Amino acid sequence: MDLLSPQAGTMFWTALTFLLLLFVLGKLAWKPLVSALNEREKRIRESLEKAEEAQRQAEKNIAEYQAMLEKARAESQEIIERSRKTAETMREEIIENAKKEADRLLERAKKEIALEREKAVDEIKKLAVDLSLLATRKAIGKALTPKDHEALVQEALKEIGDSN
């Protein structure tokens, strides 16, 4: 028996054993193995699709977030600008009102000063009249009646009018 020479019986049994083993493995191992591999491939594919979808959703969310952020920035700038304009307007109104109030107080002070001046002049005139009456009374030696006093004033006015 030579190990290197092919023999028909050995070849037949080897082929039959191989085919039988192939059939048994096909029924028992290959189908479950192939179905497990197919199932795994399906899960991997689904996971990849879910990951791609999640990435697209994340990109969409980022874009929406950036748009909202830009909108918020624009709104805040607008609010700041409106506040600045309102503050400027209020400042101008306050300044204008303060100027009006100062002018009103100044005018009131001027009127009060003029009134006080008139009162002082009247008081001085009364004092001058009283002094002149007192001096006249001392000079003449008697008190003048209001009628006498009015006559003297008229006479003095007439003299002043004649001298002008």
> For 38-50, what is the mean pLDDT?
96
| Contact (Cβ atoms closer than 8 angstroms) between residue 137 and residue 144 | yes
Q: For the segment 98-120, what is each residue's pLDDT rounded down to a tens digit?
A: 999 999 999 999 999 999 999 98
The whole-number pLDDT of residue 1 equals 52
DSSP 55-104: HHHHHHHHHHHHHHHHHHHHHHHHHHHHHHHHHHHHHHHHHHHHHHHHHH
> Domain limits of the chain?
31-163
Q: For the segment 58-96, what is each residue's pLDDT rounded down to a tens digit?
A: 999 999 999 999 999 999 999 999 999 999 999 999 999
pLDDT exceeds 80 at position 148 = no
The whole-number pLDDT of residue 138 equals 67
Instruction: Determine how many CB atoms are found less than 10 A away from the CB of residue 121.
Output: 10
Q: Could you tell me the sign of the dihedral formed by the alpha carbons of 137, 142, 145, 149, in that order?
A: negative
Please enumerate in sequence order all residues whose Cβ is within 8 A of that of 137, keeping only pairs 6 or more positions apart, or say none: 143, 144
pLDDT exceeds 60 at position 11 = yes
